[in-house]
Structure 1
Amino acid sequence: MIRHKEVMPVFSIGAKPGKGKFLDACGHTVQLEDDEALPACPQCAHEVRWWRLV
């Protein structure tokens, strides 16, 4: 039996995923409001991917 892994949505810099807390690939978090866009990493300024924290 093959099991499928649950895939979490990944967001790119500039995306506006809505209100919530997000974790980047470097391990940093940001809190966004409804109309804010995801930034580059807040500490190293690299272009990273973001995941929504539940």
Structure 2
Amino acid sequence: MSDQKRLSGMTVAVLVANGFEEIVMTDTQKALAAEGAAIRIVSHEVGLANG
């Protein structure tokens, strides 16, 4: 079994909108990070999106 993470070296965008469920985003971030991904949170809103 390889020790290399499947998403190592990749950047993944997580799209959020106002009213998103924070636990869903947090769990997604943790899972992606565990596989080695660099994570960028993006939104169509200018400024901060609120969950």
In which range does the TM-score fall when normalised by the shorter chain? under 0.3
**TM-score of the two chains, using structure 2 as the length reference:** 0.28
**TM-score of the two chains, using structure 1 as the length reference:** 0.27
Q: Which has the higher contact order (CA 8 A, sep 6+)?
A: 2
Give the number of the structure whose residues are more often helix, by fraction.
2
